[in-house]
Chains A and B, each alone.
Chain A
Amino acid sequence: MSEIPILILVLLLVAVLLRLDIIFYLVYVVVGIYAFSRWWTGRGLRSVHVKRVFAEHAFLGERITVQLTLGNTAVLPIPWLHINEAVPLGLHTPGFVRRVTSLGPREHKRITYDLDCRRRGYYPIGPLEAGSGDLFGFAESQRSAAGVDYLTVYPEIIPLTHLGLPSKSPFGTISSQQRIFEDPARVSGVRDYRAGDSLRRVHWKASARQGSLLVKKYQPAISLQTVILLNLNRSEYSTRRSFDAAERAVVVAASIANHLVNQRQAVGLVTNGCQMMASGSADDGEKSTPTPLPPKPGRLHLMKVLEVLARVQSEETGPSPAWIQQASLPVSWGDTLVAITPVGDEPTCQALHQLCRRGLNVVLVVVEPHGPFGPVRERARRLGFRAFEVSRREDMNLWRR
């Protein structure tokens, strides 16, 4: 209605020339409504505040409810308010949430919608674009009413029962068959004294009761301090199945970490993938390589590991043998290193062999062998470490028996 100013001028001219009160009154009414509509449309939208509330972390398969609270802080109503919230297609179909509502003076309204966490990831929720207008079609206005928040969906965790990872660290909490790792704090029984037994092992109370010398039997236990090396170098994954294989690698890493933490062992994580960092908008998130997480026990640390695994994506990086050498530098002697890589080729195995020679317990998990896995297993055995193939989800049943 761009002709309204013309109408106002005509009205004004007639009012002044004819000196008619009624036309002056109409001038005021038309100008009042027109000016108010234009003025309030922009200003009213600025008085709309949006608050987004939701659980920022979720496990795979969960349904998250996002609650938007729309508030009008002004004393005048917003006749209609159109909101358009951008949401990731991976969580919601379609990739937006649209609603229309009206807001009275100082009124707050709540709008909820659900997100299905079907895939792990680090998802931007928003921004929220709000649009409004007047009652007569004189003006419309739009603005970004809420920024971007992020939702972290943890990767899938497959419960494992035993891994059988090797260790050379004594005084742990995991039972072992190797007597060399007997733990004096874990007394499992007594036996008769034999020549050569240390007097420190004599169970004096039991010997007094029995009337002959008895010595304590200790349960061997190891500490399985583990570092997971997750290789997400995209060039090493096959183009056709890179996504699935990388996802599987992440699931394996998360499952092993979860299992070890449940066993009260320390777990660390080093990866060469990249992760999206939070930013103000949904488009220009920055990528960075996750900081290596040193081995630590506890659920809290596990959540940190899972958070990194939720965000991490495959990325073009340098060759993995060099990266393995560099990433394993902080790993202590005797620690276990689980290398999860797409392939178990010769250079990778040689790099892992070097780690074995440094005193680390190395386990290779191959998620995408390009050929038969037998030669890889044989090569690993020859070089002093074990190799597993997890090219399918069912392959993990090996650790679930």
Chain B
Amino acid sequence: MTDNVWNRSLLRPLLISIMVTALVAGPLAIGQILAPQWKWGYALALIFLVALEAVYTTTWLAHPNRRQQRSWGFRAAELVTWLVILRLLLWALHGSYPSADDLRGWFDSPGSFFEPELLVIGGLLVVCWVEAILNARDLQELAMQPDELSRPPPGQSLSEWRAPLSYTTSRAHILQRFGRRWMWGAVVLLLFAAATQLHYQPGLGLRSIGIAHLGLSPLLAAALPIYFLCGLLLMSLGRLAALRAKWQIDRIDGGETVTRSWPRVTLLLVLVVGALAALMPLASTWRLADWLLTAIAFIINRAIAIGAYLIALLSALLNWLLSSTTPADTPPLPAARPDIELPPPPQHLPSTTTGLPDWLGSAVLWLLMGTIVIYALVVYLRGRGIRVEWQRLRDLWKWMRRLWHRWRRGVREAAQRARIGLARRQARGDPDPAPDRSGWGLLNWRRLSPEAQIRLLYLFALRRARERGVHRPPHQTPSEVVPLLSARWPEVGEDLQALTQAFIRARYGSGSFSSGEVQQTRQLWKRVRSALRPGQRSVKQP
């Protein structure tokens, strides 16, 4: 007695075959890129047929009557048959049937028989065949086994009779094994999808993946969702098989109603979730890359600001220490921190989109991604017996806040001490220290982003102007300051204008700067610096 309902199902072999074919579509897509001259069109159909045959044979061999045929020899013969078919198919496709010379050549050097195309496609075929067998075997083991389906002999009641079987089949374990294989297959397929993003150009080698590189091979674009869909459906079917067997062994009635409605409910769930997922924000629709770059630039800018602040603080401390230990005639150290005031933003900012704000979609997307990451971590940790409790999170948050407050208080006290030191020194009549450039000099210029470099160049220009007596009133925008500076230094008026425009673009615009533009801005700054250098001629203000 066998589980005919399960064994005669057409859906399961079909799903396994499609899933395995979708998995092999990953290396096929890579092969299409690397060897476009080969014929690849037939490979997918051939692999599907191989998978279907492997699944069918595995199911066929599961019947108790075919116990004798379940041997490695039988399966090896099956595989060799497929490889021979592939060999013949390749000859037929290329129209190059072997001649007598070819036969002699193969005899002399057997390696020449195995063309690269045969090896690659054959390797994929073997992988597909093995994968199909493993998946089919797992799902076959989930079916009810003949000893589980056996009935009591005539004259013996069901309640008194126990079947002579040992309950060694752990269907949960089998299902987990199948799910794990499906999952790692998905990871491999994803890696192949990632690999197709590598730009290969002969002579240039492999170029690294770029965040703005879009596009996926149509084969992989179809294979990915098909693989996931088939896997989920098969897992659902496996789950049903495991439950059916459990109910059968425990002699629980009513499983037929569940079996009837199961595929309908599964399909409904997958379709509904799939439809809802289609409504969610996706990467290309919400300019993810732009916001990613903006986020990176923001982080770098913040890091620069904090670094500059720390350097200035250290300088001030050093200055205070030296002033307290050196004689009075020792030349004073430069000031602690350059007093740079950011100009107010321009009144009319360039708008990148109309309707919804740009940040909305990305915010939603990142919020969702963050939620998913946190959810996955929580589930994973909970599965390992680690429970994330709110109380612990609150304690962690309090600890971090305490740490932050302590650090801030320390910085404030250090700054206070530095100010007191400066005030004492001024009270002693020490000359005003020269403007500090050492802090900026300590910065690693090459590590800054292009935008940060341009903003710093503009701020340097303003500081030079202030040293030369041209102060920017706080209410004036950068555009309003330019005429003031041009009037004082007319020989670099155009350079100042260009530098200001670059600053506005870097500070308030959404565009990015290339390295060439940064170099150009540095040239502008050098000209402006030479014009604003002390001792240079300038037009006196009326």
Q: Point out residues on A near B: beta carbons under 8 Å.
A: 1-12, 14-36, 38, 77, 79-80, 82, 93-94, 98-102, 104, 111, 133-137
Asked if B506 CB lies within 8 Å of chain A CBs, one says no
A32–B273 touching, CB < 8 Å? yes
Residue among A3, A28, A102, A111 making CB contact with B179, cutoff 8 Å: A3
Q: In the complex, which residues 16-50 of chain B have their Cβ closer than 8 Å to any Cβ of chain A?
A: none
**Contact present for A18 and B197 (CB under 8 Å):** yes
* Alpha-carbon gap, A395 to B371, bound state (A): 80
Would B258 and A80 count as touching, CB distance under 8 A?
yes
Q: Establish whether residues B193 and A18, one from each chain, have CB atoms under 8 Å apart when the complex forms.
A: yes
Evaluate contact between B265 and A1: CB separation under 8 angstroms. no
Residues from 213 to 249 in B contacting A, C-beta threshold 8 Å: 213-214, 216, 221, 224-225, 228, 232, 235-236, 238-240, 242-243, 247
B236-A101 in contact (CB<8A): no
Task: Give the distance in Å from the alpha carbon of A34 to the alpha carbon of B186 in the complex.
Answer: 16
B186 pairs with A7, CB closer than 8 A:
yes
Complex Cα spacing A102 to B209, Å: 49
B257: chain A residues at CB < 8 Å are 100-102
Let me know if B284 and A137 touch, CB within 8 A.
no
Q: How far is the CA of A136 from the CA of B266 in the complex (A)?
A: 9
For A3, the closest partner residue in chain B by CB is: B183
* B372 lies within 8 A of A77 (CB): no
| Contacting residues of chain B (271-292) with chain A, CB-CB under 8 angstroms | 273-274, 276-278, 280, 282-285, 288-289
Given A2-B383, A18-B194, A137-B235, A12 and B283 contact (CB-CB distance below 8 Å): no
- What residue of chain A has the Cβ atom nearest to residue B197's Cβ? A18
> Bound state CA distance, A100 and B211, in angstroms?
51
Residue of B nearest to A99 (CB): B254
Q: What are 11 A-B interface contacts by the 8 Å CB criterion?
A: A5-B383, A7-B186, A8-B376, A11-B186, A16-B283, A19-B213, A24-B280, A27-B372, A28-B276, A32-B273, A82-B247
> Contact between A20 and B186 (Cβ–Cβ < 8 Å)?
no
A25 and B225 in contact, given A15-B283, A18-B209, A31-B372 (Cβ under 8 angstroms): yes
Point out the residues of chain B lying under 8 angstroms from A20, CB to CB. Answer: 193, 214, 216, 283
**Contacts A29-B228, A77-B261 known; 16 new A-B pairs at CB < 8 A:** A5-B379, A8-B372, A12-B376, A15-B283, A19-B211, A19-B213, A19-B283, A21-B282, A23-B193, A24-B280, A79-B265, A79-B266, A80-B258, A102-B258, A102-B265, A137-B242
CA of A248 to CA of B244 in the docked complex: distance in angstroms? 48
SS of A interface (majority): helix
A-B pairs with lowest CB-CB distance, top 8? A28-B277, A5-B376, A2-B383, A5-B380, A32-B273, A100-B254, A21-B282, A98-B252
- Select from chain A the residue with minimum beta-carbon distance to B229: A29
A34 surroundings in chain B (CB, below 8 A)? 379
For A94, the closest partner residue in chain B by CB is B159
Chain B residues engaging chain A, CB cutoff 8 angstroms: 159, 172, 175-176, 179-180, 183, 186-187, 190-191, 193-194, 197, 209, 211-214, 216, 221, 224-225, 228, 232, 235-236, 238-240, 242-243, 247, 250-255, 257-258, 261-262, 265-266, 269-270, 273-274, 276-278, 280, 282-285, 288-289, 369, 372-373, 375-377, 379-380, 383-384
Residues of A near B250 (CB, < 8 A) are 98
Query: Given A33-B232, A100-B258, A22 and B183 touching (CB < 8 A)?
Result: no
Which residues of B have CB within 8 Å of A36? 269, 273
CA distance A14 to B283 in the complex (A): 12
The answer, among B236, B242, B276, B283, for a CB contact under 8 Å with A21, is: B283
| Contact, CB under 8 Å: B209 / A22 | no
B266 contacts A24, C-beta separation under 8 Å: no
Most buried by B among A38, A94, A137: A137
Contact partner, B265, options A7, A77, A133, Cβ 8 Å: A77
CA distance A94 to B238 in the complex (A): 30
Considering the chains assembled together, what is the distance between the CA atoms of A22 and B197 in angstroms?
Answer: 14
Contact A135 B269 (CB under 8 A): yes
Interfacial chain B residues near A16, Cβ < 8 Å: 283, 288, 369
A20–B379 Cα distance when bound, in Å, is 25
**Chain B residue contacts of A17, Cβ below 8 A:** 194, 209, 211
Given A100-B258, A137-B179, A26-B228 contact (CB < 8 Å): yes
**B383 near A19: Cβ-Cβ < 8 Å:** no
Q: Are B183 and A4 in contact (CB under 8 A)?
A: yes
- Of B172, B232, B369, the contact of A136 (CB 8 Å cutoff): B232
Query: Which residue on B lies nearest to A4, using beta carbons?
Result: B183
By beta carbon, the residue of chain B nearest A19 is: B283
Contact among B190, B243, B251 for A10, CB-based, below 8 A: B190
The chain B residue sitting closest to A26, CB to CB, is B228
Q: Is the CB of A23 within 8 A of B224?
A: yes
Min CB distance B122 to A, Å, is: 29
Nearest CB in chain B to that of A10: its residue: B187
Q: A94: which B residues are within 8 A, CB to CB? A: 159
Q: Are A25 and B277 in contact (CB under 8 A)?
A: yes
Determine the residue in chain B with the shortest Cβ distance to A38.
B379
* A1–B179 touching, CB < 8 Å: yes
B187, A99: Cβ atoms under 8 Å? no
From A19, A35, A101, A111, B375 is in contact (CB under 8 Å) with: A35
User: Contact between A21 and B265 (Cβ–Cβ < 8 Å)?
Assistant: no
Q: Which residue of A lies closest to B377 (CB)?
A: A5
Q: How far is the CB of B274 from chain A (nearest CB, A)?
A: 6
- CB <8 Å contact, A1 and B176: yes
Q: Determine the chain B residues whose CB is within 8 A of the CB of A25 once the complex forms.
A: 225, 277-278, 280, 282
Which of A7, A93, A101, A111 meets B183, CB within 8 Å?
Answer: A7
A278 to chain B, nearest CB (A): 29
With A and B bound together, what is the CA distance between A111 and B384 in angstroms? 39
Cα-based distance from A1 to B236 in the complex (angstroms): 12
Are A101's CB and B258's CB within 8 A? yes
Given contacts A5-B377, A19-B211, A30-B228, contact A135 B265 (CB under 8 A): yes
The residues of A that contact B216 with a CB separation of less than 8 Å are: 20, 22
CA distance A253 to B15 in the complex (A): 71
Contact of B225 among A4, A26, A33, A136 (CB under 8 A): A26
For A16, give the chain B residue with the smallest CB separation.
B369
Closest residue to B372 on the A side, CB-wise?
A: A31
Contacting residues, chain A, for B232 (C-beta < 8 A): 33, 136
- Cβ B262 vs Cβ A23 within 8 A: no
Tell me, rounded to whole Å, the shortest Cβ–Cβ distance linking A270 to chain B: 43
Enumerate chain A residues within 8 angstroms of B278, measured Cβ to Cβ.
25
Distance in Å from the Cβ of A41 to the closest Cβ of chain B?
12
Chain B residues contacting A82 (CB-CB under 8 Å) are 247, 252
Rounded to whole angstroms, the CA-CA distance of A133 and B375 in the bound complex is: 20
Instruction: Determine whether the beta carbon of A14 is less than 8 Å from that of B190.
Output: yes
A137–B239 touching, CB < 8 Å: yes
Bound-state Cα–Cα, A28 to B275, Å: 10
Query: What are the residues of chain B within 8 A of A133 when measuring CB–CB?
Result: 239, 243
Bound form: Cα–Cα A347–B375 in Å: 77
Docked CA distance A31–B235 (Å): 15
A113–B257 CA distance with the chains assembled, in angstroms: 18
The reply to whether A135 and B262 contact each other, CB–CB distance below 8 Å, is yes
Q: In the complex, what residue of chain B is closest to A109 when comparing beta carbons?
A: B257
Smallest Cβ distance from A391 to chain B, in angstroms? 35
